[in-house]
Amino acid sequence: MAERLVIVGFGPVAARLIDELTPAIAAGTLRVSVVGAERDAAYNRVLVADVGVGRMDPEALALAEPAELAALGVDVRLGSRVVRVDRARQQVLLHDGGRLGYDRLVLATGARAVLPNLPGMNPDPAANALPAGVTALRTLQDAATVRSAVAARQRVVVLGGGILGLEAALALVDEGARVTVVHHGPHVLGRSIDAVGGAVLGATLRRRGIRLVLGARSTGLARTEEGAFAALILADGRHVPGDLLVLCCGVRPRIELAEGAGLPTAAGVLVDHGLQAHSDEHVFAVGDCAQVRCPDSGCDRCSTSRGPAGLIGPGWRQAEWLAARLVQLATAPNSPAPMPLPAETDGVILLKARGVDVATAGDAAAEPWDFADDVPDDETDQGAQCSGEPRHIPVCTHGVPPAPVEAPLQVALWADPEHGRYVKMTTRAGVLAGLVCVGMPRTAAELVLLFERGSELPADRSGLLRLDGPEQLLQGIGTPDSSADPEATVCRCAGISRGRIAAAVEQGCRSVADISRQTRAGTGCGGCHPQLKDIIEQHFAAVAA
């Protein structure tokens, strides 16, 4: 008898879960229903801004095809909402009064855009009653609103200089919109970046034509006579005028269903390391709505749980793991859970934008001078550290001995604001604990890999900066100049040295063909023909002189 599985929410994480379950569905091990509130099946939400500015088609974002899933036997319900979970009966109640029974329930309800509570804007997400000219940027429907504004080359105000706001702003300005970013903090990207990095990035954004209004607290909306958005009003009385206001103020996990069903929640739906809801072995949660914090108060891994990461990677990894677990439960319910999911490292943030390169991860706030005098050389330093910087306090958990005092953070910096380049490498015992990288793509790519692997950085940190140097700097260090060395190989294919070629020219070779006949140089790929010509030229120039 197939187990009945109901998945609430049909976003990218649910799509991955269903993908992974496909063999089990085809084999009849599971019967799956998926309920999605949007009209569209799962699509890649990460790229909604690209659809918004009109440079990608919505079809290119699709992650699932309802017809194919239906053919497989999946019960796909789009534009349908679950209004209540009846855990006693193991049923979900749909907005149209329908009910679906389940053996296992997966909450994949994701997150919704945070709408700031500003006078002039009705922040009731359920009613979806934003005034004309105001939109979030989370769904394809939002994208359609933005798209028409871009098509009309309108002025766009982006509220929020976080990652989504900057990605939207850069895409918008690339596609011809006039864009102002209003951000409450002193620099964009908030705590993900430090002040210098934020300043360097801000300058880059301004060079790209984006107007930045920083340190700005919004207090309300000015609206046109028709009620549409006209300007964002700031606390200092300034108006930031525009035709469209795009709200990029973060997201909040959707946990109402779980709350209504009496499941424990914090920032998200609380689940254990097996993604199972506390106190109900039939309910699971994954992705943006789920917060891994197990009921064991002594659990080391959970003591720092801060809620869903809001990044897609961890959600997909959860989906893959949960799929294997659900199949196991359906086939061998009493078998122990497999290896739990590895703990996620701190999220890496890579700005998705063409031509602007920003990577940040981990601790961005440490500064080189924080620890300059903080070299532990005897035991008394331990106490000093614990009472000093909060970052140094070992995590104290019940029943678990405190972790050994960690090595201090060390910071290496490179700043070149004029050229839009900035790198900060924050390490603990040589391993990256944080990084900020602006305008240095190759360095950023390597640092992110090193951060995720937990690999030790080279002692000479500057070696990582040279990756973004011109090609000449990358060529073998210390490679001798071969233009005069008679031992240097000129023709790699045949293995002929400059000396032998020069001798052949001395003996009368006047052309590349002559040299080839005499020495075999130039008889393979032909790549050395310019050098052969040079050697001939040099010889006759010397003879003439």
Partner 1 sequence: MSESRRQAAAATGAGTDTHCPYCALQCAMTLTPATPLVEAPVEAPAAGARTIEVPGPAVPSAGAPAAAGTDLDVNGRSFPTNRGGLCRKGWTSPALLRSPERLTRPLLRGPDGVHRPVSWERALERIMTAVTEIRERAGADAIGVFGGGGLTNEKAYQLGKFARLALGTSRIDYNGRFCMSSAAAAGNRAFGVDRGLPFPVTDLDGAAAILLLGSNVADTMPPFVQHLQGARDAGGLIVVDPRRSATAAFTADGGGLHLQPVPGTDLVLLLGLAHVVLAENLADETYLNTRTTGFAGYRRSVASWWPERVQSITGVPAETLRSAARLLAKAARGSGCFILTGRGVEQHADGTDTATAAINLSLLLGLPGTAGSGYGTLTGQGNGQGGREHGQKADQLPGYRKITDPAARAHMAAVWGVPETLIPGPGLPAVELLKSLGRPGGIECLFVHGANIAVSAPDANSVVAGLRRLKLLVVCDFFLSETAAEADVVLPVTQWAEEEGTITNLEGRVLRRRAAVAAPPEVHSELWIMERLAAALRAPSSFSSDPETVFEELRLASAGGIADYSGMDYALLDSGAAAYWPYPAGSSGTPRLFAERFATPDGLAVLTPVAVGPEHRSRQSELFVGTSLALATGRLLEHYQSGTQTRRVPDLAAAAPVARLLLHPLTAAARGIADGDQVRVGNDRGEVHCRALLSTDIRPDTVFLPFHFPAGQNANRLTSAVTDPISGMPEFKTSAVTVEALPQPQDPVRSTAWQNASLSSVSAPSLHV
Residues recorded for the chain: 545
User: Of the two residues 379 and 471, which places its CB atom closer to partner 1 in the complex?
Assistant: 471
Q: Which helix (H) or strand (E) holds 92?
A: strand 91-94
R_g (Cα) of the chain, nearest Å:
30
Shortest gap between Cβ of 433 and partner 1 (angstroms)?
17
User: Of the two residues 33 and 519, which places its CB atom closer to partner 1 in the complex?
Assistant: 519
Shortest gap between Cβ of 269 and partner 1 (angstroms)?
24
User: Of the two residues 142 and 357, which places its CB atom closer to partner 1 in the complex?
Assistant: 357
User: Of the two residues 32 and 269, which places its CB atom closer to partner 1 in the complex?
Assistant: 32
Shortest gap between Cβ of 17 and partner 1 (angstroms)?
13
Per-residue burial over 133-161, b = 16 or more CB atoms within 10 Å of its CB, e = otherwise: bbbbbbbbebbebbbebbeeebbbbbbbb
Can you name the residues that pair with 233 across neighbouring β-strands?
A: 220, 239
Shortest gap between Cβ of 323 and partner 1 (angstroms)?
10
- Residue 331: partners with Cβ closer than 8 Å, 6 or more residues away: 29
Shortest gap between Cβ of 185 and partner 1 (angstroms)?
23
Shortest gap between Cβ of 538 and partner 1 (angstroms)?
17
Q: Which helix (H) or strand (E) holds 197?
A: helix 195-207
User: Of the two residues 211 and 517, which places its CB atom closer to partner 1 in the complex?
Assistant: 517
User: Of the two residues 382 and 482, which places its CB atom closer to partner 1 in the complex?
Assistant: 482
Rounded CA-CA distance 545/540 in Å is 8
12-26 and 312-331 helices, crossing angle to 10°: 30
Q: Which helix (H) or strand (E) holds 47?
A: none
CB-based contact 321:106 (threshold 8 Å): no
CB-based contact 502:486 (threshold 8 Å): yes
Q: Give one DSSP letter per residue of 238-296, joined into a string.
A: -EEE-SEEEE---EEE--HHHHHTT--BSSSEEE-TTSBBTT-TTEEE-GGGEEE--S-
Rounded CA-CA distance 7/14 in Å is 7
Report CA torsion sign: 302, 303, 308, 314. Answer: negative
CB-based contact 368:412 (threshold 8 Å): yes
- Residue 155: partners with Cβ closer than 8 Å, 6 or more residues away: 177, 178, 179, 180, 241, 242, 243, 244
Residue 82's Cβ-side half-sphere holds a number of Cα atoms within 13 Å equal to 30
User: Of the two residues 105 and 501, which places its CB atom closer to partner 1 in the complex?
Assistant: 501
Shortest gap between Cβ of 483 and partner 1 (angstroms)?
10
Shortest gap between Cβ of 507 and partner 1 (angstroms)?
12
Can you name the residues that pair with 491 across neighbouring β-strands?
A: 496
User: Of the two residues 227 and 430, which places its CB atom closer to partner 1 in the complex?
Assistant: 430
User: Of the two residues 219 and 489, which places its CB atom closer to partner 1 in the complex?
Assistant: 489
Helices (H), 300-339: 312-331
CB-based contact 409:369 (threshold 8 Å): no
User: Of the two residues 207 and 238, which places its CB atom closer to partner 1 in the complex?
Assistant: 207
CA distances from 65 to 4, 23, 42 (A): 21, 16, 8
User: Of the two residues 428 and 442, which places its CB atom closer to partner 1 in the complex?
Assistant: 442
Rounded CA-CA distance 531/526 in Å is 10
User: Of the two residues 319 and 411, which places its CB atom closer to partner 1 in the complex?
Assistant: 319
Shortest gap between Cβ of 282 and partner 1 (angstroms)?
25
CA dihedral 511, 515, 516, 521 (to 10 degrees): -120
Shortest gap between Cβ of 503 and partner 1 (angstroms)?
15
Shortest gap between Cβ of 47 and partner 1 (angstroms)?
6
Shortest gap between Cβ of 348 and partner 1 (angstroms)?
6
User: Of the two residues 333 and 454, which places its CB atom closer to partner 1 in the complex?
Assistant: 454
Q: Is 410 helix (H, G, I), strand (E, B) or coil?
A: strand
Query: Closest Cα to residue 197, out of 351, 346, 81, 402?
Result: 351
Shortest gap between Cβ of 374 and partner 1 (angstroms)?
24
User: Of the two residues 238 and 492, which places its CB atom closer to partner 1 in the complex?
Assistant: 492
Sequence letter at residue 22: T
Shortest gap between Cβ of 67 and partner 1 (angstroms)?
10
